Chains A and B, each alone.
Chain A
């Protein structure tokens, strides 16, 4: 079990790295999906470890959440792209200070 947990931690960390290192919104968003999945992996692993099905139920809810987020997130990305022909997040720095 702790092997899978370590794996999930590693995936979470990789996802975080992706969020910070990627420079387009869509790739960052993909990295976020990676993080969400790592949470699901942890849930499944914990469920396995304690024999508690609630963990899997939560993981299902999370998948639904992720789907909702994707819908809105991709909507935003498309809208942004439409307005500026790019989804590079570093260009979006009008507000500062």
Chain B
């Protein structure tokens, strides 16, 4: 464990804490960007270069920008203000998080030593090695991810369509709606 490791760890934790506590949503979002960048650096340290790049490009570059964009779009920067109907939620959340961490940490304490040949096998996590795996054994999930992204696009379009499409509605359908209202209410 080097100084670098400690530094990155501190950065990660600090930015994460900032992301979940800062009152201003834009600040929190920025903290999260920082966290993601730090994480990318950690990936490099973990022999996962391609992952690190992707992290920077997709996460920090695209996803978080999207987030910040939405935050600003919605003028919702000062979101966590106003009366809180669940004031006791914060300590409970903290306690639950702490317990979760402790349980996981306890589980990790039973881990064995690192495989001495690990970094050789990982080959630095370069695209070439990773690509062989992704388009080899992982072809199926990758294809599925394509479907997923397609489905997500459709879903997102459905969600943000601002107006109800004006279609010609059959008269008997309208009559039925009226009927339901009459009898139901």
| Direct interface between A and B, CB < 8 A | yes
Q: Mark B119-133, 1 if CB is under 8 A from A, else 0.
A: 111110100011001
Given A11-B13, A26-B67, A75-B155, are A48 and B96 also a contact pair (CB < 8 Å)?
no
Partner of B160, one of A6, A9, A75: A75
What residues on A are CB-neighbors of B59 within 8 Å?
33, 37, 63, 66
Contacts of B130 in A (CB 8 A): 53, 56-57, 60
Complex contact B115–A13 (CB within 8 A): no
Q: Are A24 and B86 in contact (CB under 8 A)?
A: no
Interface size on A, residues (CB 8 A): 70
* CB contact between B19 and one of A23, A31, A70 (< 8 Å): that residue: A31
Whether A51 and B93, one on each chain, are in contact in the complex, defined by CB atoms closer than 8 angstroms, is: no
Query: What is the bound-complex CA distance between A24 and B78, given in angstroms?
Result: 10
B80 — nearest CB in chain A belongs to which residue?
A23
CB under 8 Å from chain A, chain B span 124-158: 125, 129-130, 133-134, 137-138, 141-142, 145, 148-149, 151-153, 155-156, 158
A78 closest partner in B (C-beta): B160
Say which one of B35-43, B167-175, B177-185 lies at the interface with A.
B35-43
* Chain A interface residues (CB < 8 Å from chain B): 1-7, 9-24, 26-27, 29-31, 33-34, 37, 40-41, 44-45, 47-54, 56-57, 59-61, 63-72, 74-79, 81-82, 86-88, 90
> 27 A-B residue contacts at CB 8 Å?
A2-B109, A3-B1, A5-B108, A7-B13, A13-B98, A17-B96, A23-B80, A26-B76, A26-B79, A31-B20, A44-B51, A48-B46, A49-B115, A50-B118, A51-B119, A53-B122, A53-B125, A59-B48, A59-B51, A64-B149, A66-B59, A68-B145, A68-B148, A75-B156, A75-B160, A76-B159, A90-B84
